[in-house]
Amino acid sequence: MWFLVVFFLVYWLMHIVVFGLSGLQLGFSARAWSAALPLTLFLSLTPLWAALVPDWLPRWALTSIWWATYIWLGVLFYLFCVQTVYAVGWVALHWGPASLQSVFAPRAAWFWAGVALVCLVLAYGVYEARERFDVTRHEIPLAQAAAPLRLVFFSDLHLGLMPSFGRLEELVRLCERIEPDLVCIGGDLLNDHTGFLERELDLVRRLSRQFPVWAVLGNHEVYSGVDASLAFYEQAGVRVLQNASRLLNPSTPLRVTGVNDPALGQRSLSARLSPALAEASDNPGEDVVHILLSHSPRGWPDDVPEDVDLMLSGHTHRGQMFPFSWVVRLAYPHINGIYSEGSRHLIVSRGAGTWGPPFRVLAPPEALVLDILPTAEAAGGTDGKAPASYGQ
């Protein structure tokens, strides 16, 4: 609840800054100023209006409302960044030479220059989100591995009203091309309106018929309804680990443990792991590779058991739209990439899709191909490079 209050307050203040400085630059009339305040209030609540739109409306109407809402969110974010930079320059030069003060004086040219810059950034953001897709490869040498094991991991696809069918199809084709031993989904596969996802359901079912697929719940699957999300996974043939652990035996003995997202109520990673570890202690196995799936990377490394060799997470999107990554990094120091402590590793994915604004800026989507190798067979450890055969 408090998160929503803070979000909408910040979102409203961003509108105030953008409309206020834009009004000064464009020389708003008294009538325009009087209309600006209620307009900012209305626009700041548009994510709430989108969430409350009834599902009985035609899909095209629902999709149009979501597109308008979240494109505006992205546009506003970059207008806010541009206007903040302008405001800092204006204030900083207030006591400077008169010639420089006149350069930063409010005028329409500054407004239109900012709009042009935002358009360029968002055009690139559309390209990065829709056309660019990285397949990141890591080789992970583990003494416990009895034989090579190939795993595909992706997260944060956010299937819903915003288009993501094409990206899901890319992921399925990637798996079919490289034939992994295991596919793991790190949460937020679903975002909203699961009842509209018939085509997506068929694609995930196609994946699970060919490979064992395991998943955990992310925060957006909680927001869209746990029961509806679990029903989707069940129909798709995906096995969901809810604070649970399973001992598998593909090419090398493997334990997969998965925990729910903190959005379900338990903030501490240790508390969410307790039932899974109790389950694992009944049949610990010997020389078993232990993988932990957790949507959020929070809790690494202090709350992660010593016998976990590899923790896989998403959630951060690497900020999705630079420079928002600076803010995300404050909350999640492990924002993207691989982090090691001794023989243990955490890998945080940038995510395969987008949440909210359909843009990515300096945070391209990705899927991970992980080759877990016996130590003697490792070719140099983690490399982060994808062979050409992994490409699209």
Whether residue 360 contacts residue 162, with contact meaning beta carbons closer than 8 Å, is answered with no
Domain range summary for the chain, segments of one domain joined by +: 2-129, 134-390
Confidence of residue 73 (pLDDT cuts 50, 70, 90): very high
Structure tokens at 14: 């961003």
pTM assigned to the model: 0.91
* pLDDT computed for residue 379 by the predictor: 55
Nearest partner of 140 among 373, 377, 369, judged by Cα = 373
* pLDDT computed for residue 283 by the predictor: 56
Confidence of residue 390 (pLDDT cuts 50, 70, 90): very low
Q: What is the mean pLDDT of residues 283-291?
A: 74
Q: What is the mean pLDDT of residues 240-245?
A: 94
- Mean pLDDT across the chain: 89
Task: Write the CA distances from 375 to 146, 247, 309, integer angstroms.
Answer: 9, 21, 13
Q: What is the mean pLDDT of residues 128-138?
A: 94
Structure tokens at 16: 């105030």
Contacts of 197 (CB under 8 A, 6+ apart): 159, 160, 190, 232
* pLDDT computed for residue 183 by the predictor: 98
* Superfamily of structural domain 134-390: Metallo-dependent phosphatases (3.60.21.10)
Confidence of residue 391 (pLDDT cuts 50, 70, 90): very low
Strands in the chain per DSSP E: 134-142, 149-154, 182-185, 213-215, 239-240, 244-248, 254-259, 289-294, 310-313, 337-341, 344-348, 366-374
Backbone angles phi, psi at 291, to 5 degrees: -115, 135
Handedness of CA 325, 225, 168, 212 (dihedral sign): positive
Residue 389 has pLDDT above 50, yes or no: no
Structure tokens at 161: 């009203």
Residue 292 has pLDDT above 60, yes or no: yes
* pLDDT computed for residue 100 by the predictor: 66
* pLDDT computed for residue 386 by the predictor: 46
The residue ranking higher by pLDDT, 286 or 276, is: 276
Specify burial of residue 170 (Cβ count, 10 A radius: 0-12, 13-18, 19+).
middle
